[in-house]
Amino acid sequence: MKRVCVLLPLVFASVLAGRPMSYEQKVYSTNIIIESAEHVFPQVLRKIVRENQSMEELVIMFVVPEKANIENELKKYLDNETNLQNEITAALYHVDNSATSSEGNPLLVDPPISNLITLGQTRRDLTLNVPEFLIDTIGLNRTHDEDYKNKHMMCRLKGLVKSMAEPFNYIIEYALGETLKSTGRVICNLTTIHNDVVWDLV
């Protein structure tokens, strides 16, 4: 598998380029890193979904980076991209202990002529099957996998799956509803950018 050097701090790229990295550059470099880390990316996504980002932030990070409100919240979304890069770097180092060489260091290269819409489609292509893969994997190992009982996490994964299927109507909020007495499963309510509410079971 082709690897890139993900241990070089991305701040070096900014210093060497003599200017701060734009959001478009961040998304582009994150896409390159994700592409190099297919074997660890599911565990990275799982870890991040367990944490405290809002549903909308998760969806923008993994599904629709082009929808980030960079006019008013640029720093937040730059930080989210950096944090995702750092999580992948840590996972690669932990698994391989070998992410220390560079093949031309593509992180120092400006993105090709493109726009955030194109970069967003690339992000979806790279992450498309991962949320559903995690849901299936956790479900198959429900007896031993503690995440199966984490209904908040499972609902957030459902929101990512829904957003992958309909990125034009992506999920911005989630809420857990009642527990069904017959099965013990919980209703997961998902609110879209257009204020539609859909539901699933977790």
Averaged pLDDT, 171-184 = 94
For residues 67 and 80, give the distance between their C-alpha atoms in angstroms, rounded to a whole number: 13
Pair 21, 31: CB distance under 8 Å = no
For residues 8 and 198, give the distance between their C-alpha atoms in angstroms, rounded to a whole number: 42
pTM value is 0.84
Among 80, 75, 45, 67, CA closest to 120:
67
Hey, which of 6-10, 92-96, 192-196 has the most confident mean pLDDT?
192-196
Q: Is 93 exposed, middle or buried (0-12, 13-18, 19+ CB in 10 A)?
A: middle
pLDDT range class, residue 148, cuts 50, 70, 90: very high
